[in-house]
Amino acid sequence: MTQAPAAAKATRRQHDREIVMLAVPAFGALVAEPLFVMADSAIVGHLGTAQLAGLGVASALLTTAVSVFVFLAYATTAAVARRVGAGDLQAAIRQGMDGIWLALLIGATVIAVVLPAAPALVDLFGASDTAAPYATTYLRISSIGIPAMLIVLAATGVLRGLQNTKTPLYVAVSGFIANGVLNVGLVYGADLGIAGSAWGTVIAQWGMAAVYLVVVVRGARRHGASLRPDAAGIRASAQAGAPLLVRTLSLRAILLIATAVAARLGDADIAAHQIILSLWSLLAFALDAIAIAGQAIIGRYLGADDPTGARAACRRMVQWGIAVGVVLGLLVILSRPLFLPLFTSDPTVKDTALPALIMVALSQPICGVVYVLDGVLMGAGDGPYLAGAMLLTLAVFAPAALLVPTFGGGLTAVWGAMTLMMTVRMLTLLLRARSGRWVVTGATR
């Protein structure tokens, strides 16, 4: 009678150690990424309003272009982790190289599109006549770094699949420091203005990519994995990533719809929405760190033909997601008197944001379940289901959000629609998790 509870407790402790070991460094790396844009903004902001506005437009375009291809990290993590679980490190690194070659191909294609189309893209985003030249300059130079950013995504996926989230943290922190130093030196020391900021970021991004490539190449040589591009492997990586691309585009559409609806409600509403959205994104980093641990751990268990271990890890990570969600929600409620004044002194904006902010806080346990199960199913290579579930979620969210200006409720109703969206996601993911259909063992799915 005492052995079973003791064994269960030992298993939970093992899962807890693995989750913490992978999630904490992953969280640090995730937080370091948006700091690039913040550092650039702080440095360029002293050049003038037009330059800062141009940076804002160009950064939005670049962030969108790169985030669409985040599947390079997700799909690679799952595929590599499966082969690690199967004990075939050579095949794991070979799989990772296929993802890196795919990143290079996509990056070259994006450069070919962005360089000539930069002025049109800047105009499409509504840049003013004074900001547009700066935005175009920054976008054209920064596009040279897009392949590096995509290589970083794919290589990060390789290391996560190898159960290593510490190296991405070290590289992200080093890249952030290098970016800041280069920006200051080129913007002010070399007097290159906004072009110096762009070049500094590009150099930092290629430096990060080079570090990752050195790490992966050393691993490939150590385990006898080929570094040459393999058409079949690259094609398989693209096919695995396609459903996750659909998922990401659907999520982007949801965020754009929410912002567009908030903009129609008035200046105070869109200002409050941007404040809340920034907080929502920050909270997502903490929950996404657990999801990243889930991708790596679940892929490894399934690759090792251990469905029981995979299910147990899934249950424990869901418990973690709920617990972290509750803590984050409480922190948001307790810190709201301090948080809102950091962003605005306008009492109208504060009054508009407050009820929506409370709704965000109450929804965090739901978000915890969603992020964790998203990571579990990604680790299982269940991309087609995730794509279908997100399309269904978009179909439910869009009419609910678009009807807000008609039926009223203001920004609180918009975030009510966002909570509905997360609830639908949670239900679809819970149904899949409980069905067990995601539990497909073996080195490949």
Q: Is the confidence at residue 6, as pLDDT, over 80?
A: no
- Mean pLDDT to the nearest integer, 256-264: 89
Rounded Cα distance, 198 and 51, in Å: 12
Residue 374 pLDDT exceeds 80? yes
Contact 145, 206 (CB under 8 A): yes
Which of 1-10, 59-68, 150-159, 171-180 is the least confident region?
1-10
Amino acid 107: pLDDT: 96
Q: What is the pLDDT of residue 4?
A: 62
Contact 93, 177 (CB under 8 A): no
pTM: 0.90
Evaluate if residue 289 carries a pLDDT over 90.
yes
Q: How many other CB atoms are there within 10 angstroms of residue 131's CB atom?
A: 23
Q: Mean pLDDT lowest for which of 37-51, 200-214, 316-330?
A: 37-51
pLDDT of 412 over the 50 cut: yes
- Flag whether pLDDT at 2 surpasses 50: no
pLDDT of 371 over the 60 cut: yes
Residue of 274, 250, 260 whose CA lies nearest to 393 = 250
- Give the angle subtended at the CA of 47 by the CAs of 44 and 52, to the nearest 5°: 50
User: Which tens digits make up the pLDDT trace of 86-145?
Assistant: 999 999 999 999 999 999 999 999 999 999 999 999 998 777 889 899 999 999 999 999
CA separation, residue 147 to residues 68, 173, 399, 433 (Å): 13, 20, 37, 35
Looking at this protein, which amino acid is placed at residue 383? G
**pLDDT > 60? residue 1:** no
Q: For the residues 3-30, what does the mean pLDDT come to?
A: 85
Residue 71 above 60 pLDDT? yes
3-class DSSP state for residue 430?
Answer: helix
Residue 3 predicted with pLDDT over 50 = no
Q: Which of 162, 18, 165, 164 is nearest to 90 (CA)?
A: 162
Written in H, E and C, the secondary structure of 399-416 is HHHHCHHHHCCHHHHHHH
Please tell me the predicted confidence (pLDDT) of residue 347. Answer: 87
